[in-house]
Amino acid sequence: MDGPSREAAAVGLLTGPDAGTLLRRALRPAGLAVHRWTLRRVHHRPGAGATAIYDVAALAGARRAAETVCVSTVPVPLLSPAPVVRLRHRDLELVAWRHPHDPWLPGLPWASSPGHVGRAVFGSGEPAALTTLSYRPGRRAVVRAVLGSEVRYLKVLRAGRAEGLVDRHRLLLGAGLPVPEPVGALVDDVVVLRALPGAPPPVAARDGDAAALLPAHVLALLDALPAQVLALPARPAWTDRVLDYGRAAAVALPEEADRIRELARAVDEARAATGPGPVVPVHGDLHEANLLVTPGTEGPFGPVTGLLDVETAGPGHRVDDLACLAGHLAVLPAGSARTAATARRMLAGFDEAVDPTALRVRAAGVALSLVAGARRSGGPPDRARQRLAVAERLLAEARAR
């Protein structure tokens, strides 16, 4: 079985009924039995493996316990102290762990402890209220911590990466960018960040201010990225890996596999045929959830009061940052005239800053990269097909130019 076929088989296993057998075997060493389970999400990275997150109602004798269990095809780091259970299903090797004991994220147990966070982050004997905002198994987690009126965000990283992220934040803060300020000492590669005001643009638009964010504000933000960012490691843009994301989309939406493969090839060919422009400092993952806006505020970047997730900053092409934002906005769920207007306004405004054809080609690649994510929770295929249609429309617009 080749790599893509093995990954397709793994995703099928993790999303199918046999996952229940894996969960029973994963929890048995802890003395837990599976009462019922639901698939929360699958993270499939072509070439790097797949990991599923499950919510499990477990039984320890007569006592009920709520467990979050991850099952992955990714090999565990050799020196990880986290307790894992090794599983085998036919010719697939897997590992399982109970959250928060992620073998790649040594600080997740600490960041998931209300008592530890209350003492170390807030200097209080009271426990903090913790909410996990995002968790990408084996990669990172973001936890919101609240104690009284104070709010902090805990970014949990792989071992050895926290100091570099703190340095990036300080670099960008020194350049006047609205990034969160790191506070306190590092604990097990967890970076603690101050909260910033504002909400992502689609949320602000739904609240009634559709014109809060303009293309000029985004361009001013990117113009302010300091030249020192060019010395950071380069990362591939989303569309640079469009063939990989096409394979992931075909696994998630197999009934459209031929259509997806044709689109991925077409986007890749169009990407190679269009110039991306000069290498400049870029954010690297500039989508709507990484921007905070406060309508009514007029600072150096208009209403933008926050720029988040700067660990991807480095050298790249301006068109890829703009395509990332345009592609994400384009696939937002239909039904909000304000968010649709924001997407159209951004694309038209970015046309003045970069090559419009290259912008749409790369935005099509971004939209295609989001197709698999629409099926990761095992939901209906409608949203995935809508994202596929958006990618096709953006590529058609590029070709029309």
Of 273, 276, 275, 249, the closest CA to residue 262 belongs to: 249
Task: Give me the mean pLDDT over the 381-385 stretch.
Answer: 88
Give the pLDDT confidence score for residue 91 in this predicted structure: 86
Per residue in 78-106, pLDDT (tens digit) is 778 889 999 999 889 999 999 999 999 99
Query: What is the CATH number that goes with domain 108-194?
Result: 3.30.200
Q: What are the start and end residues of each CATH 3.30.200 domain in the chain?
A: 108-194
Give the pLDDT confidence score for residue 378 in this predicted structure: 58
Task: Say yes or no to pLDDT of 208 above 80.
Answer: no
Give the pLDDT confidence score for residue 1 in this predicted structure: 52
Of 393, 199, 181, the closest CA to residue 294 belongs to: 199
Task: Give me the mean pLDDT over the 136-149 stretch.
Answer: 96
Give the pLDDT confidence score for residue 327 in this predicted structure: 96
Give the pLDDT confidence score for residue 249 in this predicted structure: 93
Among 119-123, 125-129, 283-287, 330-334, the range scoring the smallest mean pLDDT is: 330-334
C-alpha distances (whole Å) from 361 to each of 39, 163, 319, 386 are 34, 36, 10, 17
Mean pLDDT of the chain: 92
C-alpha distances (whole Å) from 98 to each of 55, 72, 81, 101 are 10, 12, 13, 6
Give the pLDDT confidence score for residue 380 in this predicted structure: 67
Percent of the chain whose pLDDT exceeds 90: 79
Phi, psi of 13 (to 5 degrees): -65, -45
At 230, list the tokens.
């060019």
Three-state DSSP class for residue 172: helix
Give the pLDDT confidence score for residue 59 in this predicted structure: 94
Cα R_g (the chain), whole angstroms: 22
Give the pLDDT confidence score for residue 377 in this predicted structure: 58
The CA-to-CA distance between both ends of the chain, in Å, stands at 42
Per residue in 161-200, pLDDT (tens digit) is 999 999 999 999 999 999 999 999 899 999 999 999 999 8
Domain 201-400 bears CATH identifier 1.20.140? no
Helix (H) or strand (E) holding 174: helix 162-174
Give the pLDDT confidence score for residue 45 in this predicted structure: 85
Task: Say yes or no to pLDDT of 211 above 90.
Answer: no
233 or 335, which is more confident?
233
- 302/2 Cα distance (integer angstroms): 51
Strands laid side by side in the 129-136 sheet: 129-136, 140-147, 150-157, 190-194
Among 21-25, 46-50, 162-166, 182-186, the range scoring the smallest mean pLDDT is: 46-50
Contact in structure between 324 and 285 (CB atoms under 8 Å) = yes
Q: What are the start and end residues of each CATH 3.90.1200 domain in the chain?
A: 201-400
148 pLDDT band (50/70/90 cuts)?
very high
Task: Give me the mean pLDDT over the 50-71 stretch.
Answer: 94
Task: Say yes or no to pLDDT of 221 above 60.
Answer: yes
Indicate the pTM of the whole model. Answer: 0.92
Per residue in 224-275, pLDDT (tens digit) is 999 999 999 999 999 999 999 999 999 889 999 999 999 999 999 999 999 9
